[in-house]
Amino acid sequence: MTVPIGGEVNGHTTTKRPLPCGIYAPTMTFFDPETEELDIPTIKKHAERLAKDGLAGLVTMGSNGEAIHCTREEKVAVTRATREALNAAGFTTMPIIVGATEGSVKGTIELCKQSAAAGGDYVLLLPPSYFRAQMDEEAIVGYFTAVADGSPLPIVLYNYPGAVAGIDMDSDLLIKLAEHPNIVGTKFTCGSTGKLTRVARATDAKTPTSEGSGYMAFGGICDFTVQTLVSGGSGIIAGGANVMPKVCVKVWNLYAEGKTEEAIALQKVLSRGDWYLTKAAIAGTKQAIQTYFGYGGYPRRPLKRLEKAKVAAIAEGIQEVMDIEMSL
């Protein structure tokens, strides 16, 4: 369903590009290997490849996008370039979720506004964590409520304890925050399928077979795609989709089509391959893209470049799933 910006479906804010169920990639941000400046042509090339490979949407400036290494101006430039690439390739309805977390309410709202102007459709927000000792539930609720009140874009909450000094929003808190009409989903990078199940049920989350309230419950890693579907989830936002998007989409579609045993069998292969990328993190994912697609490069420092032996080990570890990827 397409509605004007600022409309509502079942109490939740919508934009002209709704979030479909399926697989989303938190896109990598590519840099010149010598200067570490943004490599805009490669950023656009990558976005187009992922769209053509069947993803439901893209996430710019998330953890995989090295948002923490980029200036606000660079974040806006990456989102703008991604929107331009999608439009030029004919994917004008594909939504972009933008990582727009800053430490303060004021700064986050400003980045949300700039993300909207750059072509973003939603924002993905972590809880504030720098002053960890002061970030109790009241402070977190206050932060998200104030940002949701002031953001022109709907918000997807980002529950990733490893990135925010261990802050792990529980299901009660997430359900409470979901009552705000401008908070439209959660990404569960915590990996808790139980938490996802509780939130999806309480919010009547969108699934492949039901529009529900429109709320989106996203699994945060592709190695529990089937588990997310079983739990009533809406989609997956997964770093592995940068490397093997077709396999990620295939697992999702097989289960959604009722081909449960086939989905489970392919999920096992995907989970094994994704572990090599998870262990090697951003540097490993970029080198896997380099190995199989001829571009990728390196992360910004202080993240280290991988030794050749490590790159070779990753390529060997993901070979089984990549053989399937290249056959699709």
Nearest to 198 by CA among 220, 223, 226, 178: 178
Between CA 38 and CA 41 the distance in angstroms is: 9
Tokens of 319: 């070979």
- Helices 319-327, 245-256: crossing angle, 10 deg rounding: 70
| 51-53-55 Cα angle (round to 5) | 55
- What b/e string do you get for 250-272 counting C-beta neighbours within 10 Å, with b at 16 or more? bbbebbeeeeeeebeebbebbbe
Between CA 234 and CA 236 the distance in angstroms is: 7
Between CA 62 and CA 239 the distance in angstroms is: 10
Alpha helices in the chain (DSSP H): 40-52, 72-88, 105-117, 137-150, 171-177, 193-203, 225-230, 245-256, 260-293, 308-317, 319-327
**Choosing from 44, 75, 187, 206, which is the catalytic residue?**
187
Place of tokens 């990598």: 28
Nearest to 236 by CA among 251, 221, 216: 221
User: What amino acid occupies position 93?
Assistant: T
Place of tokens 């934009």: 15
Residues in the chain: 328
| Catalytic (active site) residue 187 | yes
- Helices 72-88, 40-52: crossing angle, 10 deg rounding: 50
- Helices 308-317, 260-293: crossing angle, 10 deg rounding: 150
Label the pairing between strands 183-188 and 22-26: unpaired
- Helices 105-117, 72-88: crossing angle, 10 deg rounding: 30
- Strand, helix or coil for residue 159: strand
Indicate which residues carry an active-site annotation: 187
